[in-house]
Amino acid sequence: MIIDVNFVGLIIASIMASAVPLILASCGELITERSGVLNLGVEGMMIIGAISGFALMTVTGSLIIAVFGAMLAGVLISTIFAFLTQTLITNHVATGLALTIFGIGISAMIGKNFVGIPGKEFPVIFEGLKDTIPLLSPILFGHSIVFYFAFVLPFITSYFLKKTKIGLIVRAVGDSPESASNQGINVKLVRYACILYGGAMCGLAGAYLSMIYTPQWIENMTGGRGWIALALVVFSTWNPIKILIGAMIFGGLTIIQFHMQAIGVRIPVQFLTALPYIVTIIVLVVISRDSRKIRLSTPSSLGKSFYKDN
Amino acid sequence: MNTNLKISNVTKIYPGCVANDNVSLEFNSGKIYALLGENGAGKSTLVKILSGVIIPDEGKIYLNEINLKLNSPLDAKKNDIGMVFQHFNLFETLSVFENLIIDSDEQREVLREKIDSIMRKYNFSIDLDIPVLNLSAGQKQKVEIIRCLIRSPKVLIMDEPTSVLTEQETSELFLSLKKFSEEGILIIYITHKLKEVMELCDEVAVMRRGKLVSVSEIKNENIESLANKMVGQNLKTIKKKKEKNSSVKLINITNLNFISEDPFETNLSDINFSVNRGECLGIAGISGNGQSELFQVLSGEIISDKNSIEFNKNYIGDLNPQERREYLMAFSPEDRLEQAAIPQMAIYENVALNNYKSSNFFNNGLINENKIKEHSKKIISDFNVNTDNIELKSQFLSGGNLQKLIIGRELITSPDLLICFNPTWGLDVGAINYIHETLIKINEQNKSIILISTDTDELLKLSDKISVIHKGKLSKIMDADEVTSEKLGILMGGGN
């Protein structure tokens, strides 16, 4: 049997495309968690981003407004979370769960008027180079700008955390907010910023789903990707590069199991559907099992409220 | 240049407590000042005000006649006031270098050079690129000091710096502090240890219950006079009568090993010792050398080989703490609020917890509240716990009262052996005295103690025999009379 190399390239490209929302949301949540805040509202922020992006695109017709609007929507909803957890010192877990429920509900309500409306085509770049190199061309060229951004983001995130002053401050706050505060760092401000950044990335991830990946609005269209993104952050031990690996494995297995189902492989469908979840977690656990490194990269104050008593 | 720091009429009131009551003090560079007081006397509050962590309700701070507005730690730093906190303000998972540069805006290379030159000048040697959690307490403190020195401070405040240090580390610290003082840095040294004040400082200010009691020169004071000023009454000195102990073995540990899966714990290797009735065995060591693992193995939090622990002719190595209690062992862990008591539960509930099985506190699964309360009241009066409200949540008890409650709870069942771990850690002189008296009384009743402690003075005072733990290994067991604190210090550092 002869396999067309470009077909393989296309499969890899589709795997990468399905990993994009996971990478975006995970890298955003990673920054939030590195500052010591556990935001379980990823799914909710993503779906808000998805409906906001799609609605703005339909109403204004501008893709730029739609993409940035989706990010802004993510920021706004995460501001609610930030205000509750940082200013009113509510419990991170409960507030995050509420955020997800709220996001799913409100997106369904807004989305009623947008069901069945066709999306717009999102421009791709480097399209002219699509046929130049066998195998690699379909992988490298002809994707949206968000796609490229997603694959650079883990490296930027890693550089930001390790090499920049602000990255150092974020890690310090996540390690010990008390010490950070005594060093004159404004813990609340840092945490607010990290939560809002996480919201923006989740909003972008949602917009990618509704505007680029499957350009239409379907109720509940994030389909649990927010939870996978959260799991990726933890199982990657807060390492952006490992998030990239995990997202690719998850995306890859999702795509491959679809093909296997289509071909009619005699494995129970339920098992195939569960496969990406199981394998991703196993792989990430195996590559992250060095307990010393876990201790060093886990934000010690994760999920704990911080307040100064003067 | 001379530095003059003036605190003028500072008051800080918390609900139910005046932490600083109209305190005025003046300091000049070239001298080392001691700020002395018991726990809760308000000295920590005062220095936190100086370092901008706490904002006073009233009063002013002047540095060289300039009125400082200290609204945040940053303000203090900008005004050249550096502070080393009692509980380190370090980021455990970040590297030493990252910890040092976090509050500075200078280039990394410049800072690295600066740090190197400071370390050379004061003979510090610390690997800058390892995470702080791998450092010893003494090294961590040096990191804190370097962090202050980077900013070339005019004032350096040390809040109870020796509570985590060994003898050697303490004398190294004192040398450094004297050097800083000679270089013109004004040093304020907070402590409740009188010996240190006498050894290091030039002037001493004593605080009691938020008020400044006295300011005087060290040469006019001695340990007794300072102790009495600090406590506000005459303290009796306690001393253990060394008697000939019985030679009946109560507990015998043979070839006890513990290998931890957690790389941040210490493995115990080949522990052998025995304790006779009426005897107190002290175990010295720098914290983190396996004391907490040893305590857990002895108390049954970590189960070991059945035959490795023989207690009263029974092999109990595989029993859990509750089962061990039934053989008349009792335990007082190091962390009073995390391990010994449940902070959110009332005093009487905490009392019921360690004896839920053998006592008559419960009938058919129901709590017999009256019985427990009666019992709790007895503990409170017998052991001098300073409260009459047994429904108070235990987190609101002071460290000393909580420790008395815990010791009382353990002793009221009259156990044969009490194992305690740093029983007077962080307590003030009065409470320490009481705990020490109680422990001596236990020995007099022909009951035994294993005292794991990082306080060598305490060990020398209370123990009949002493051993030192270093990197999970016990030294040979020595008679306490033949041991000096210098010798212990050498063994604690791993020497011979």
Residue B214, strand partner residues: B206
A-chain CB neighbours of B93 within 8 Å are 171, 175, 295-298, 300
Given pLDDT bands bounded at 50, 70 and 90, which one contains residue B245? Answer: low
Q: How far apart are CA A174 and CA A193, in angstroms?
A: 13
The pLDDT of residue B370: 87
Domain range holding B455?
Answer: 249-492
Q: How far apart are CA A219 and CA A47, in angstroms?
A: 9
Q: How far apart are CA B183 and CA A157, in angstroms?
A: 44
Given pLDDT bands bounded at 50, 70 and 90, which one contains residue A1? Answer: low
Higher-pLDDT residue of A162 and B240 is A162
Q: How far apart are CA B314 and CA B472, in angstroms?
A: 25
User: What strands lie across the sheet with B249-258, from one edge to the other?
Assistant: B268-276, B249-258, B309-311, B314-315
Whether B470 and B341 map to the same domain: the answer is: yes
Last residue within a domain, chosen from B164, B197, B231 = B231
Q: How far apart are CA B331 and CA B340, in angstroms?
A: 9
Interchain proximity B72–A184, CB inside 8 Å: yes
Whether B389 and B476 map to the same domain: the answer is: yes
Rounded to a whole number of angstroms, the distance from the CA of A286 to the nearest CA of chain B is 17
The pLDDT of residue B357: 63
Whether B97 and B203 map to the same domain: the answer is: yes
Name the closest residue on chain A to residue B53, using Cα atoms: A182
SS3 call for B371:
helix
- Interior angle at CA B52, CA B48 and CA B53, nearest 5: 55
Tell me the residue type at B100: L
Residue B403 lies in a domain: yes
Last residue within a domain, chosen from B231, B262, B288 = B231
Residue B236 lies in a domain: no
Residue A73 lies in a domain: yes
pLDDT digits (tens, 9 = 90+) for A42-72: 999 999 999 999 999 999 999 999 999 999 9
The pLDDT of residue A86: 95
The pLDDT of residue B238: 67
Whether B196 and B272 map to the same domain: the answer is: no
Residue among B306, B339, B334, B301 at smallest CA distance from B320: B301
SS3 call for A103:
helix
Whether B121 and B268 map to the same domain: the answer is: no
Name the closest residue on chain A to residue B92, using Cα atoms: A175
Interchain proximity A178–B89, CB inside 8 Å: yes
Q: Which helix H or strand E contains B188, and what residues bound it?
A: strand B186-191
Whether B186 and B292 map to the same domain: the answer is: no
Given pLDDT bands bounded at 50, 70 and 90, which one contains residue A3? Answer: low
B-chain CB neighbours of A184 within 8 Å are 52, 72-74, 77, 103
Considering only CB atoms, B263 lies closest to which of A178, A183, A292, namely A292
Considering only CB atoms, A172 lies closest to which of B72, B85, B91, namely B91
A-chain CB neighbours of B53 within 8 Å are 182
Q: How many domains does chain B have?
A: 2
Residue A305 lies in a domain: no
Whether B330 and B430 map to the same domain: the answer is: yes
Whether B189 and B304 map to the same domain: the answer is: no
Residue B241 lies in a domain: no
pLDDT digits (tens, 9 = 90+) for B19-72: 899 999 999 998 999 998 877 788 888 999 999 988 999 999 999 999 999 988
Q: How many domains does chain A have?
A: 1
Whether B343 and B447 map to the same domain: the answer is: yes
Residue A21 lies in a domain: yes
Q: Average pLDDT in the B354-358 region?
A: 67
Residue A265 lies in a domain: yes
Domain range holding A162?
Answer: 5-297
pTM of the predicted structure, to 2 decimals: 0.76
| B466 contact partners, CB below 8 Å, separation of at least 6 | B281, B282, B283, B284, B459, B460, B477, B478, B479, B480, B483, B488
Q: What does residue B281 show for φ and ψ, rounded to 5 degrees?
A: -100, 120
Residue B273 clears pLDDT 90, i.e. is over it: yes
Residue B359 lies in a domain: yes
Name the closest residue on chain A to residue B105, using Cα atoms: A165
What beta strand segments (E) does B299-338 contain? 309-311, 314-315, 329-332
Residues A85, A32: contact at Cβ < 8 Å? Answer: no
> What's the burial of A303, exposed, middle or buried (CB within 10 Å: 0-12/13-18/19+)?
middle
Last residue within a domain, chosen from B170, B201, B231 = B231
Whether B398 and B265 map to the same domain: the answer is: yes
pLDDT digits (tens, 9 = 90+) for B189-234: 998 788 889 999 999 999 988 899 999 999 998 888 888 888 776 6
Name the interface residues of B facing A (CB cutoff 8 Å). 51-55, 72-74, 77, 85, 88-94, 98, 101-103, 131, 133, 262-264
What's the distance, Cα to Cα, between the start and end of chain A in Å? 74
pLDDT digits (tens, 9 = 90+) for A176-201: 999 999 888 999 999 999 999 999 99
Tokens, residue A138: 């379909």
Q: How far apart are CA B418 and CA B449, in angstroms?
A: 5
The complex scores an ipTM of 0.85
Residues B253, B456: contact at Cβ < 8 Å? Answer: no
SS3 call for B284:
strand
**Using the 8-state DSSP alphabet, how is residue B235 labeled?**
P
pLDDT digits (tens, 9 = 90+) for B77-134: 889 999 998 778 899 999 999 999 998 888 889 999 999 999 998 888 899 999 998 8
pLDDT digits (tens, 9 = 90+) for B450-488: 999 988 888 988 999 999 999 899 999 999 888 888 888
Q: How far apart are CA B362 and CA B352, in angstroms?
A: 9
Give the residue ranges of DSSP H helices in chain A.
5-34, 42-60, 63-82, 92-111, 136-140, 145-163, 165-175, 177-182, 187-208, 225-235, 240-263, 269-287, 291-297
C-alpha distance from residue B261 to each of B264, B298, B318 (Å): 9, 18, 19
Whether B225 and B263 map to the same domain: the answer is: no
The pLDDT of residue A227: 94
Q: Could you tell me the CATH number of the domain that includes residue A180? A: 1.10.3470
Q: How far apart are CA B411 and CA B400, in angstroms?
A: 16
Residue A309 clears pLDDT 60, i.e. is over it: no
Interchain proximity B103–A184, CB inside 8 Å: yes
Q: Could you tell me the CATH number of the domain that includes residue B68? A: 3.40.50.300
Whether B261 and B410 map to the same domain: the answer is: yes
β-pairing, B465-470 with B473-474?
antiparallel
